[in-house]
Amino acid sequence: MINGKKVGLCLGSGGARGLAHVGVLQVLEENGIVPDVISGCSAGAIFGAIYAAGTNLYLLEKYLGTVDAKTIIDLGIPIQGGFLSGDKIEEVVMTLTHDLSFGETRIPFLCIATDLVSGEMKVFEEGKLHKAVRASMAVPGVFTPALIDGHYYVDGGVIEELPVDVLRAQGVDVVITSDLGIKRNFFDPEHPSPVDILRRSTDIMQARLTRQQVDKGDVVIRPDASFMGLLKINGYEESVSAGRQKTLEALPRIRELLGLDMPELIQQEGLPAGGQELA
């Protein structure tokens, strides 16, 4: 807690745009604002789990520079529900979370997924981190659904891209959200394909749902990483930088809510941070 206030951090979904979350986490940690509990969805689940497990954020940023398509893309069989099996990303997450379970993290962590049969939201808070993250990031049609304990799960963003309510249920006093916003896919209204229309309609629907969740947060950080695609890793430095910049802008409000003095902000890149090595 900070001055008796329990702090929650909510990291939203957004594919490779989620790399901006790394910059958000870096600036918060550099300024002594470490959340008491973290919630994440899809990309937010990936980086929330990695941070909760204790991985050093600056080593993580360096690691991102070594990642290419071969590291994360593994073609599946479309008839099984997705073009990518998701096994490679799950292996990366398992390594970066040190194969920890939820109860072993240095910061309590929650992530959400969507039960494909019941349509209900699943809040994961036990079991292996990488298994739950794999479920949370299973973008429908892109990744095959994740099978856990007899249930098939897809991306939590189908229901809730910003899981704020799960933090409130933990008794959090101040919720900080990192919202990656609507995907700015190119859309030509004069010559749309059926896929274009479906994709754009889904974007609009999810943006409206997200706005409802954003209103429940106390501080909203909105990094602009719209130049990133679903699995595009190139440009990670710009994404991290966008997360850093928007968090620096939000710091005065965060410190006000937490009753903290406003010292000279720490803005240098690459300051050492605590936490475990990558592997």
Sign of dihedral through CA atoms 230, 234, 239, 240? positive
pLDDT of residue 236: 77
pLDDT of residue 205: 63
pLDDT of residue 273: 46
pTM of the predicted model as reported, rounded to 2 decimal places: 0.84
Question: Which position has the higher pLDDT, 245 or 73?
Answer: 245
Q: Which residues pair with 111 in a beta bridge?
A: 40, 124
CA distance 201 to 199: 5
Crossing angle (nearest 10°) for helices 236-257 and 20-30: 40
Contact 90, 130 (CB under 8 A): yes
Residue type, 9: L
Q: What angle do CA 94, 148, 110 make, to 5 degrees?
A: 60
pLDDT of residue 104: 97
Question: Which position has the higher pLDDT, 79 or 153?
Answer: 153
Catalytic residue ranges: 42, 155
Residues 236-240: what's their mean pLDDT?
A: 85
Q: Torsion angle, CA of 253/256/260/264, rounded to 10 degrees?
A: 40
Residues 179-186: what's their mean pLDDT?
A: 64
Residue type, 205: M
Residues 170-179: what's their mean pLDDT?
A: 95
- Residue 45: exposure state from Cβ atoms within 10 A (0-12, 13-18, ≥19): buried
Q: What is the pLDDT of residues 56-115, one digit of tens each?
A: 999 988 888 787 767 777 765 655 676 788 888 999 999 999 999 999 999 999 999 999
9-33 b/e (C-beta count within 10 Å ≥ 16 → b): bbbbbbbbbbbbbbbbbbbbbbbeb
pLDDT over 60 (residue 258): yes
Q: Which residues pair with 247 in a beta bridge?
A: none
Residues 150-175: what's their mean pLDDT?
A: 92
Q: What is the pLDDT of residues 198-226, one digit of tens each?
A: 556 666 666 666 565 556 789 999 988 76
CA distance 136 to 146: 9
Question: Helices (DSSP H) in the chain: which residue ranges?
Answer: 20-30, 43-52, 57-64, 69-72, 87-96, 129-136, 165-168, 194-214, 236-257
List the one residue out of 35, 50, 52, 34 whose CA is nearest residue 105. 52
Question: Which position has the higher pLDDT, 193 or 124?
Answer: 124
Sign of dihedral through CA atoms 219, 180, 76, 187? positive
pLDDT grade for 269, boundaries at 50, 70 and 90 = very low
Q: What percent of the chain has pLDDT over 90?
A: 54
pLDDT grade for 271, boundaries at 50, 70 and 90 = very low
CA 168 to chain centre: 18
- Provide long-range contacts, Cβ within 8 A and 24+ apart, for 113-118: 113/138, 113/146, 113/153, 113/154, 113/155, 113/156, 114/153, 114/154, 114/155, 114/156, 114/158, 114/159, 115/151, 115/152, 115/153, 116/145, 116/151, 116/152, 116/153, 116/154, 117/151, 117/152
